[in-house]
Amino acid sequence: MSTELGLAVRRRSATPASSTNIRTDTPQVSKIVDIDLCIGCKACEVACKEWNDLPVDDTSNFGSYQSHEDLTATTWDLMRFNEVELANNDIAWLIRKDSCLHCEDPGCLAACPAPGAIVQYQNGIVDFDQTKCIGCQYCIAGCPFDIPRFDPASKKVYKCTLCVDRVTSGLEPACVKACPTGSIKYGSTEDMVAYGTSKVAKLQARGFENAMLYNPAGVGGIHMMYVVPRGDMLAEYGLPSDPNVKKNVSFIGLLRNTRRLGAAATWAGILGLAVFWLRYGRHAPPPEDAGSEEGVLVGEHGGDGHVVEGLGGNAPANGNGHPSERQPAEEQPIVTSDGKELT
């Protein structure tokens, strides 16, 4: 919500070389959501609303145990629900806490053209500063997880802050605090990865052979990981199997290459025109007195090959300041219509 928290900044949108970190060993913080322990109670949703003073979004029954159909600018945390039929005629309820995953390489930040509107603190939290947001919504296109939401009233984009204001004061995030089963955990990234790895091993021992720690490398890893018991059902959970900001074919990759192409082409164009001007100069119409009686005329070079100086009468302003315009074209013999070759 704000960058004025005294936290070291690793990256700031639209600001090259923006790292302010001179500290050593700043701990990397992360959440981990152990889907195995989640009972779908939505206490985290309520806690999120409460801590962040977010207004209620009306709910409606759309045939799901989900409270709202989607994230909104004022609903930053949503328990997504999906019922799937399994091969053995059983069913599974897939419940996933959906909120910002705080990528190590945030696509939103890479896409953002507003200086400082998106920051990544040294501890890994990705935060929006709405005072600097220009409302272009590039971050929405840049996010591989479809998280940021635009508020048409304030014309700004909002998302989970990982309770950076609580974290900064040594508190755990509101959703973590409210979770009754300990499904959402918070701590150093190291500890969270260790928890996830051991939990995945336990799940696999229990028969969930596809259990996995969701921490995709395509975005450099995330600061809200998942323990996914049914790792073969990422799509059903609503998780992309390969979220990516590094590949050239990913949106951020294309955007990056488009920017490089654009910068190179723009400079090439400017320099190209400058060289073109030096080489070919200006081309004024021939002076009036250079026209021969037959009306045959040979441009700057004059009918008899001599360089014509000066212009009379109300001739339009022309470039008699540039030397190259009086030079005959090199290498190309200029032939008049009566076959006379000029040198």
Partner 1 sequence: MTLTEPRVTVVRTSKEVVRYSLFERIVHWVVGVTFVYLLLSGMALAYPRMAWLANGLGGGQTMRAAHPWVGVVFTAGLLVMVFMWAGAMRFDKGDREWVRRLKQYRHTGHTGLDTGRYNAGQKGYYWVVLAFGAVLLITGIPLWFPWMAGAGVQQAARIIHNLAYLVMLAGFMIHVYMSTVMFPGTMSGMTSGKVSRRWASWHHPRWLREKDGE
Least distance CB 238 / partner 1 (angstroms): 13
Taking CB under 8 A as the criterion, the residue among 2, 220, 277, 304 binding partner 1 is 277
Taking CB under 8 A as the criterion, the residue among 136, 171, 193, 233 binding partner 1 is 136
DSSP strand E in 130-288: where?
A: 149-151, 156-158, 184-188, 212-214, 224-228
Residue whose entry in the numeric block shows the structure tokens 């500290």: 23
**Nearest Cα to Cα of residue 329 among 309, 305, 310, 312:** 305
Neighbouring C-beta atoms of residue 103, cutoff 10 Å: 27
Q: Is 343 in the site for partner 1 (CB under 8 A)?
A: no
Q: Specify whether the CB–CB gap between 72 and 149 falls below 8 A.
A: yes
Taking CB under 8 A as the criterion, the residue among 141, 171, 193, 233 binding partner 1 is 141
Residue whose entry in the numeric block shows the structure tokens 């989970």: 160
Residue whose entry in the numeric block shows the structure tokens 């507003």: 114
Taking CB under 8 A as the criterion, the residue among 22, 153, 249, 317 binding partner 1 is 317
Phi first, then psi, for residue 335 (nearest 5°) are -115, 125
Q: Is 246 in the site for partner 1 (CB under 8 A)?
A: no
How many residues are there in the chain?
A: 343
**Nearest Cα to Cα of residue 92 among 36, 41, 32:** 36
Q: Of 85 and 293, which has the nearer Cβ to partner 1?
A: 293
Q: Is 275 in the site for partner 1 (CB under 8 A)?
A: no
Q: Of 115 and 187, which has the nearer Cβ to partner 1?
A: 115
Taking CB under 8 A as the criterion, the residue among 187, 238, 305, 319 binding partner 1 is 319
Binding segment for partner 1 (CB under 8 A), chosen from 47-55, 91-99, 137-145, 226-234, is 137-145
**Nearest Cα to Cα of residue 233 among 87, 104, 78:** 87
Q: Is 265 in the site for partner 1 (CB under 8 A)?
A: yes
Q: Binding residues for partner 1, per CB under 8 A?
A: 13-16, 112-115, 132, 134-138, 140-141, 146, 150, 152, 155, 251, 254-255, 258-259, 261-263, 265-266, 269-270, 273, 276-277, 280, 282-286, 288, 290-291, 295-300, 313-319, 329, 332-337, 341
